[in-house]
């Protein structure tokens, strides 16, 4: 006969001894419940980044004129040039541009290649790189902290409009964000040894090849290394000094490499990273404030839109941690407490520094997005630990477990819904500039001019103009400095002479140069937006230099028009989130629409 089955395990009685291995097994089971495979995390990050690569509108004209256009020049021999690329100022890195031009040119080796395909191929590469970096930082968070924190880190990023903006954007601040994630992964994960030099290297790559100010994000990690070294024995002190020295040497090597590449393009020795810092901080001619300033709460409002609940949690992360430590009876070491404070510091530091700067732009926050997500994940972990307290003597313990689960699930679901509603709203409202140029493949002649007036800043790049068509600017009410054009002359070695030939009409004070305009008669095509809702208002009159070209049917023929949000006539909620144009939605809450049009000049 078979032996009788063993008796069922009895729960431990109050006052009885529980073996430590049983407690460890319970903690391990809880951790495993939140653990996912690295490849699964990568697929989640990649899916979110690819959605951005395919659907995200270009948020900032700086992305077009300072990055896509120089890349188009390297690949196709012509493009628009901003004053930053004039050899007289040299505050943009050709190394950063060249890396992306190589990626775009790889697409030309594949079947069915065209310039639009190159544009999206670069975006796909950026999405892939972002997902890879996010996965490495997530993995470090899971190993060093907790898989549940890692799970919240994923949720805070993949459903956020902030990730939709930044993950596939061709901007140095996005590149700095990628490198910041690699650097943070090295600093966070001490398994296999402390990796200070590796962390410093990745932050330096992001700062020197991308955006120099992003190097500041590694300051809390380096300071942690210094503090621990000061309180260690002599041997550990020299080990720390050696790690920091290796990081400094690696940074200097990167600076040398960047200077060498830019010296080739500008034909003179240029330290572009220093030029950027000098212009933005030590400029005597006005600096970045010339391009607009914002109030101190600009980033708070912007991050609330782009991260909703997660931004609130990120702000509360340090107070929650300190409160937990004050109320907790666990004997946590000084080092582990310091580690948590160090991990929480970069986001606060970055937000404080850039909130104090007069000139503010959304993209300036990109490098801090991973740290915002980390702070929010740690705060959520802390909240759930307190909320999950089952002690019936406490107020939280008296709440039924199912009700707690429902509250948490509803909060997370609301966050996801708000994030997706904003992403859908942004795509449906502002994607027209990526759609109107398709008919040019079948129309027009080689070398035709496609002109822009008041819509100059919505131009997505020359990658959308086939047949060597060139973008041009006609007179509008804008009185700042418009981009010029890279010289197409072939001198010297015959390669990219426009990067070093002397330029005219550029200045670093945003002063208008009338030589950047062409006569309207020379335009074969023109891009304009019409806003019927604004025209219905009493007393509306078009500005003298910005007529409604779409309405001028005698001179212009509509080639293609795509709906474009009339932000001035749309209420805030409908601008911030997707609101359906259904009959049941009150008229005062609906979005109002204009039309973004490609026009052809009648002969």
501-555 residue pLDDT tens = 999 999 999 999 999 999 999 999 999 999 999 998 878 899 999 999 999 999 9
Cβ atoms of residues 575 and 533 within 8 Å:
no
Cβ 135 vs Cβ 154: under 8 Å? no
pLDDT of residue 6: 52
Percent of residues, the chain, with pLDDT higher than 70: 90
205 pLDDT band (50/70/90 cuts)? very high
Q: Is 89 exposed, middle or buried (0-12, 13-18, 19+ CB in 10 A)?
A: middle
Q: Please report the pLDDT score of residue 291 as a whole number.
A: 85
The Cα–Cα gap between 219 and 225 comes to 10
Helix residue spans in 35-93 (DSSP H): 38-55, 61-63, 69-76
Whether 266 has a pLDDT exceeding 80, the answer reads yes
Judged by phi (left if over 0) then psi (alpha if -120 to 50, else beta), residue 494 lies in left
pLDDT above 80 for 422 = yes
Asked if residue 4 has pLDDT above 90, the reply is no
CB 279 within 8 A of CB 287: yes
Instruction: Please write the tens of the pLDDT for every residue from 31-40.
Output: 555 678 999 9
Q: Reading across the β-sheet that carries 556-565, which strands appear in turn? A: 470-473, 449-452, 525-530, 593-601, 556-565
Q: Which of 23-27, 167-171, 222-226 has the lowest mean pLDDT?
A: 23-27
Q: What is the mean pLDDT of the chain?
A: 90
Cβ atoms 46, 127 nearer than 8 A: yes
Neighbours of 560 (CB within 10 A): 18
Count of CA atoms in the C-beta half-sphere (13 A) of 283: 17
Residue 379 CB coordination number (10 Å): 24
Question: What pairing do the DSSP bridges indicate for beta strands 449-452 and 525-530?
Answer: parallel
Query: Quick check: helix, strand or coil at residue 597?
Result: strand
Closest CA to 563 of 432, 433, 422, 423: 432
The alpha carbon of 74 is separated from its chain's Cα centroid by a whole number of angstroms, namely 24
Length of the chain: 603
Percent of the chain with pLDDT over 90: 75
Average pLDDT over residues 71-79: 96
pLDDT in tens, 458-485: 999 999 999 999 999 999 999 999 999 9
Q: Answer yes or no: is pLDDT of 575 > 90.
A: yes
Predicted TM-score (pTM) of the model is: 0.91
404: Cα within 13 Å, side-chain hemisphere: 15
- How far apart, in whole angstroms, are the C-alpha atoms of residue 20 and residue 449? 77
Nearest-Å Rg of the Cα atoms of the chain is: 28
């Amino acid at each position: 006969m078979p032996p009788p089955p063993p008796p069922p395990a009895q729960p431990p009685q109050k006052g009885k001894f529980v073996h430590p291995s049983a407690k460890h097994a319970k903690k391990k089971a809880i951790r495993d419940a939140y653990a996912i495979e690295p490849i699964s995390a990568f697929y989640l990050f990649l899916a979110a980044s690819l959605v951005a690569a395919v659907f995200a509108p270009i948020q900032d004209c700086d992305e077009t004129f300072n990055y896509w256009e120089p890349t188009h020049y390297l690949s196709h021999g012509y493009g628009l040039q901003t004053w930053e690329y004039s050899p007289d100022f040299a505050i943009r890195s050709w190394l950063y541009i060249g890396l992306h031009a190589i990626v775009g040119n790889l697409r030309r080796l594949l079947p069915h290649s065209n310039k639009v395909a190159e544009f999206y191929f670069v975006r796909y590469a950026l999405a892939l790189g972002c997902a890879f970096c996010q996965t490495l930082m997530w993995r470090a968070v899971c190993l060093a902290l907790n898989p549940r924190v890692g799970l919240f880190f994923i949720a805070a990023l993949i459903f956020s409009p902030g990730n939709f903006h930044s993950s596939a954007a061709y901007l140095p601040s996005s590149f700095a964000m990628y490198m910041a994630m690699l650097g943070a992964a090295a600093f966070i994960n001490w398994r296999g040894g402390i990796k200070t030099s590796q962390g410093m290297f990745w932050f330096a790559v992001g700062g020197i090849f991308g955006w120099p100010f992003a190097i500041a994000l590694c300051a809390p990690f380096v300071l942690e290394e210094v503090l621990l070294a000061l309180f260690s024995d002599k041997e550990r002190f020299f080990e720390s000094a050696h790690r920091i020295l290796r990081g400094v040497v690696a940074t200097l090597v990167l600076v040398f490499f960047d200077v060498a590449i830019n010296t080739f393009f500008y034909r003179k020795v240029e330290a572009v990273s220093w030029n950027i810092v000098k212009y933005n901080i030590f400029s005597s001619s006005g600096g970045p404030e010339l391009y607009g300033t914002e109030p101190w709460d600009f980033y708070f409002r912007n991050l609330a839109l782009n991260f909703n609940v997660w931004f609130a949690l990120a702000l509360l992360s340090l107070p929650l941690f300190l409160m937990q430590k004050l109320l907790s009876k666990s004997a946590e070491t000084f080092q582990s407490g310091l580690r948590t404070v160090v991990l929480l510091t970069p986001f606060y530091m970055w937000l404080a520094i850039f909130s104090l700067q007069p000139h503010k732009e959304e993209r300036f926050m990109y490098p801090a997005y991973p740290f915002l997500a980390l702070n929010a994940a740690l705060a959520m972990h802390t909240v759930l630990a307190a909320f999950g307290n089952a002690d019936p003597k406490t107020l939280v313990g008296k709440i039924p477990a199912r009700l707690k689960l429902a509250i948490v699930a509803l909060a997370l679901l609301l966050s996801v819904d708000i994030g997706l509603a904003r992403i859908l709203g942004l795509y449906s409202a502002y994607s027209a500039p990526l759609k109107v140029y398709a008919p040019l493949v079948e129309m027009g002649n080689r070398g035709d001019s496609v002109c822009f007036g008041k819509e100059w800043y919505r131009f997505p790049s020359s990658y959308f103009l086939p047949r060597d068509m060139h973008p041009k600017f006609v007179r509008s009410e804008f009185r700042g400095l418009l981009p010029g054009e890279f010289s197409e002359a072939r001198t010297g070695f015959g390669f990219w002479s426009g990067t070093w030939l002397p330029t005219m009409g550029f200045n670093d004070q945003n002063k208008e140069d009338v030589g950047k305009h062409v006569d309207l008669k020379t335009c074969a095509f023109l891009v304009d937006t019409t806003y019927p809702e604004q025209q219905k208002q009493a007393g509306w009159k078009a500005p003298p230099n910005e007529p409604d070209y779409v309405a001028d049917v005698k001179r212009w023929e509509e080639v293609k028009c795509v709906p474009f949000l009339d932000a001035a006539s749309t209420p805030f909620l409908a601008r911030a989130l997707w609101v359906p144009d259904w009959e049941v939605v009150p008229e005062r809450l609906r979005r109002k629409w204009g039309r973004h049009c490609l026009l052809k000049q009648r002969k």
